[in-house]
Chain A
Amino acid sequence: MNEEIRAVQTEMERFGYIAEPEIATAVFLAREMRRPLLVEGEAGVGKTEIAKVLARMLDTELVRLQCYEGLDTNTALYEWNYQRQLLRLKIAEKEGRDPAKLEDLIFGREYLLERPLLRAITRREGPAVLLIDEVDRADEGFEAFLLELLSDFQITIPELGTIRAEHIPFVLLTSNRTREISDALRRRCLYLYVEHPGLDKELRILQNKVPGVNAQLARAVARFVHRLRTREIRKLPGVAETIDWAQALLRLHRDTLDAETVFNTLGCLLKDQHDLKATSDSVVAELLEYAAAGD
């Protein structure tokens, strides 16, 4: 493997993210080629976490834009501080200033409220990590706007002119695939699909994220969840759920898994009524057997 990719992998691990070669390769390439990285995968596989770790790795600010239906430029880009502007206007009136000059007065940078996208490109200290989370939830129109931003890294504010990026941020977009991302945006980015972690990776994540857990329990938990994911259920538990569950077990002072404990804590893993009901005694018995095997 390329030494630099291995270095990225080691570095990510140092900051608490167990990265498979695929993830390390994508992060490395996105950084080298200065391209945004589009990360897709099911909920709970650790897409957002990649951005957080990157920000820590690069020792920079994480600027996060959470997308939702109806997201507009006022929330994503910038907004004027109307209250301050109004106040300034009143003062100007008292001072008897020339009305024609009012506009220059109140449309200055100090009256501008920076929203995430503007913040990400105006950070002076160095490139920020810009996380555009769940981009699939935003309207398609917003996607088109993003496309423009991601190719030029500049924002035009009619009253103020064009603001160019001080430093090109490292951009990560995530999508849960509730809809397809447009081809144009996909092409602008490099693409990474994150799958549920394998058994070994999940075990390492557990040991990393839940420090107090003993090796035997961690192993049983990882094997149990791994097996559970092979079943026909609606909401597959993600890594976050596995961690929650291990923490819950730790708080309950359990060193081993048994049927009763599993039933009492199953809500950590399965968050769908239908899935909970479908997980009967016999299913849990089978999962436990699998979890205990290989000891």
Chain B
Amino acid sequence: MFAGDAPGMVAQLARFAGALRAEELRVGLGDEIDAATVLTHLDLLDRAEVHRALRIAFKLPREAWGIFDRLFAQYWDGDIAAARGAPPTRPQHRQKPLQWKWDGKRVRLVAADEEEDPTGDTPNYSPEAMLRRKPFERCSADEIAELERLIARLAPRLAARKTRRLVPTRQHGSVDLRRSFRHALKSEGDFLRLARRARAIEEPSLVVLYDTSGSMEGYTRLLLAFAFALRRSIRRAEIFAFNTSLARVTPLLSPAEVERSLMELSAGVPDWSGGTRIGECLAEFNARYLDRLVRRNTTVMVFSDGLDQGEPEGLGAAMRELRERAGRILWLNPLLADARYQPEAAGMRAALPHLDYFGPAHNLEALERLTRRAWRA
């Protein structure tokens, strides 16, 4: 059925699909079958035609065309030897459970059995209410562990957002004629009770940009835990880390492989705990991701102290651009915990006019407050 006169063709196609997958393109068996079917309709001697048609059959988005074209040249233009070289190797992940350790300077991963606790902290129970107000940077290791549990509980609440879609409700909302009618039939056409429907609660879309520069050190870990938790409960959450450059860390945060995520995270974010260039990083975010990730119902959360080494004009312009696209922009600044703090840093002042909410993020209570602010009513 598939290019039966050329069995080599199908094998070739399978190798090609494998190469696409090795480049992390999402190509499934169904796509391969489509591609094989497509080949039966084509003039196989016409390179351009095969090229176009395979791109259609593999359903590759525009960003993937570069990779596709390169591999196509390798696999279909005779240069197969090059393509058959060493298959891409994936790092072997350790099976031992890993723990995410904070050694006071940076996030570090250690295998559970090499866990050491030289400080010899005794378990230090804090009542939850106190813990909620305690600034993150003054929390002990155990308190941080407890906070992480609380944060994990907080995230799902944040994930509740109302949409315009209507779903049946018991009492409130507008009249749903279709269902009312069905009820009426049971009582011989009398509308004894009107069925109603109201706006559904739906999964929101969220972009988190958090600052991992040195000045944020005391907070990064728990804010990161917060981002993790959000990612677990909001499927459409995208997480970025920035300092002097921007890194998309969402792919490193796959909920199924948390341990691997953690390991890659500490390795994958360049210049962890260095300086900050917020404006440039935001501009880079806008250029690369704005179109794809941010739309009117997207909430953008920035965790940063706003101490920017770059030009404030750059930050202002980037925020303005973001403002035009995003539903809400929240800026969480741990420095706000100090009542004497005034947002006087040039960068912070440039960003302020574009924010929907500017608030503290130094303790759990501050994060809880977000649940009411995160989505447009």
In the complex with contacts A139-B163, A187-B59, A102-B185 CB distance below 8 A: yes
Q: Which of B40-48, B92-100, B210-218, B258-266 contacts A (4 or more CB under 8 A)?
A: B40-48
Q: Which of A18-26, A160-168, A208-216, A217-225 contacts B (4 or more CB under 8 A)?
A: A18-26
CB-CB under 8 A from B70, the residues of chain A are none
CB-CB under 8 A from A177, the residues of chain B are 291-292
Interface string of A9-47 (1 = CB under 8 A from B): 000000000000110011011001101001010000000
- Tell whether B288 is near chain A: CB-to-CB under 8 Å: no
Whether B165 contacts A70 by the Cβ 8 Å rule is yes
Q: Which of A29, A69, A93 contacts B56 (CB 8 A)?
A: A29
In the complex with contacts A2-B43, A102-B189, A69-B38 CB distance below 8 A: no
- Tell whether A250 is near chain B: CB-to-CB under 8 Å: no
**Closest CB-CB distance, B2 to chain A, in whole Å?**
12
Whether A28 contacts B60 by the Cβ 8 Å rule is no
Task: Compute how far the CA of A180 lies from the CA of B293 in the bound complex, rounded to whole angstroms.
Answer: 8
User: Which residues of chain B from 170 to 216 have any CB-CB distance to chain A below 8 Å in the complex?
Assistant: 177-178, 181, 185, 188-189, 202-203, 205
**Closest CB-CB distance, B197 to chain A, in whole Å?**
10
Whether A70 contacts B57 by the Cβ 8 Å rule is no
Q: Which of B24-32, B147-155, B340-348 contacts A (4 or more CB under 8 A)?
A: B24-32
- Tell whether A263 is near chain B: CB-to-CB under 8 Å: no
Whether B56 contacts A5 by the Cβ 8 Å rule is no
Q: Which of A59-67, A72-80, A120-128, A277-285 contacts B (4 or more CB under 8 A)?
A: A72-80
In the complex with contacts A32-B41, A82-B181, A139-B202, A192-B164 CB distance below 8 A: no
- Tell whether B115 is near chain A: CB-to-CB under 8 Å: no
Task: Compute how far the CA of A93 lies from the CA of B56 in the bound complex, rounded to whole angstroms.
Answer: 59
Whether A79 contacts B56 by the Cβ 8 Å rule is no
Task: Compute how far the CA of A93 lies from the CA of B202 in the bound complex, rounded to whole angstroms.
Answer: 43
Interface string of B6-43 (1 = CB under 8 A from A): 00000000000000000000101011001001100111
Task: Compute how far the CA of A281 lies from the CA of B188 in the bound complex, rounded to whole angstroms.
Answer: 75
Task: Compute how far the CA of A82 lies from the CA of B48 in the bound complex, rounded to whole angstroms.
Answer: 56
Query: By CB atoms of chain A within 10 A, which of B38, B49, B189 has the most?
Result: B189
**Closest CB-CB distance, B132 to chain A, in whole Å?**
34
- Tell whether A103 is near chain B: CB-to-CB under 8 Å: yes
CB-CB under 8 A from A89, the residues of chain B are 189
Task: Compute how far the CA of A82 lies from the CA of B176 in the bound complex, rounded to whole angstroms.
Answer: 11
Interface range for A? 35 or more
- Tell whether A179 is near chain B: CB-to-CB under 8 Å: yes
CB-CB under 8 A from B61, the residues of chain A are 40, 191, 193
- Tell whether B355 is near chain A: CB-to-CB under 8 Å: no
Q: Which of A4, A69, A82, A189 contacts B59 (CB 8 A)?
A: A189
Whether A5 contacts B49 by the Cβ 8 Å rule is yes
Q: Which of B28, B49, B165, B205 contacts A141 (CB 8 A)?
A: B165
CB-CB under 8 A from A139, the residues of chain B are 163, 165, 202
Whether A70 contacts B166 by the Cβ 8 Å rule is yes
Whether A29 contacts B53 by the Cβ 8 Å rule is yes
Whether A2 contacts B202 by the Cβ 8 Å rule is no
Q: Which of B52, B164, B188 contacts A22 (CB 8 A)?
A: B52
- Tell whether A85 is near chain B: CB-to-CB under 8 Å: yes
Interface string of A179-201 (1 = CB under 8 A from B): 11001001101111101000000
CB-CB under 8 A from A80, the residues of chain B are 178, 181
Whether B165 contacts A187 by the Cβ 8 Å rule is no
Task: Compute how far the CA of A79 lies from the CA of B181 in the bound complex, rounded to whole angstroms.
Answer: 12
**Closest CB-CB distance, A189 to chain B, in whole Å?**
7
The tally of CB-CB contacts under 8 A between chains A and B is 105
CB-CB under 8 A from B232, the residues of chain A are none
Task: Compute how far the CA of A287 lies from the CA of B38 in the bound complex, rounded to whole angstroms.
Answer: 42
CB-CB under 8 A from A69, the residues of chain B are 163-165, 297
- Tell whether B295 is near chain A: CB-to-CB under 8 Å: yes
CB-CB under 8 A from A22, the residues of chain B are 52, 55-56
- Tell whether B62 is near chain A: CB-to-CB under 8 Å: yes
Whether A191 contacts B60 by the Cβ 8 Å rule is yes
In the complex with contacts A40-B61, A103-B185, A177-B291, A1-B41 CB distance below 8 A: no
Task: Compute how far the CA of A85 lies from the CA of B297 in the bound complex, rounded to whole angstroms.
Answer: 38
CB-CB under 8 A from A156, the residues of chain B are none
Q: Which of A25, A103, A183 contacts B52 (CB 8 A)?
A: A25
- What is the chain B residue whose CB lies nearest that of A179? B295
CB-CB under 8 A from B188, the residues of chain A are 93, 99, 102
Task: Compute how far the CA of A76 lies from the CA of B8 in the bound complex, rounded to whole angstroms.
Answer: 45
Whether B165 contacts A72 by the Cβ 8 Å rule is yes
CB-CB under 8 A from B42, the residues of chain A are 2
In the complex with contacts A89-B189, A178-B295, A25-B56 CB distance below 8 A: yes
Task: Compute how far the CA of A31 lies from the CA of B57 in the bound complex, rounded to whole angstroms.
Answer: 13
Whether A2 contacts B181 by the Cβ 8 Å rule is no
Interface string of B232-243 (1 = CB under 8 A from A): 000010000000
CB-CB under 8 A from A86, the residues of chain B are 189
Query: By CB atoms of chain B within 10 A, which of A40, A79, A191 has the most?
Result: A191
CB-CB under 8 A from B177, the residues of chain A are 82
CB-CB under 8 A from B31, the residues of chain A are 187
**Closest CB-CB distance, B42 to chain A, in whole Å?**
6
- What is the chain B residue whose CB lies nearest that of A142? B165
CB-CB under 8 A from A191, the residues of chain B are 55-56, 58-61
Q: A1-B48, A2-B43, A139-B202 are in contact. List 12 more A-B contacts (CB 8 A).
A: A1-B43, A2-B49, A5-B49, A29-B41, A33-B38, A70-B164, A82-B181, A102-B185, A186-B59, A187-B30, A190-B59, A191-B60
* Residues in chain A within 8 A of chain B (CB atoms): 1-2, 4-5, 21-22, 25-26, 28-29, 32-33, 35, 38, 40, 69-70, 72, 74, 79-80, 82, 85-86, 89-90, 92-93, 99, 102-103, 106, 139-141, 177-180, 183, 186-187, 189-193, 195
Sorted nearest first, the 10 A-B pairs with minimum C-beta distance are A70-B164, A191-B59, A89-B189, A99-B188, A2-B43, A70-B165, A178-B295, A26-B56, A25-B52, A193-B62
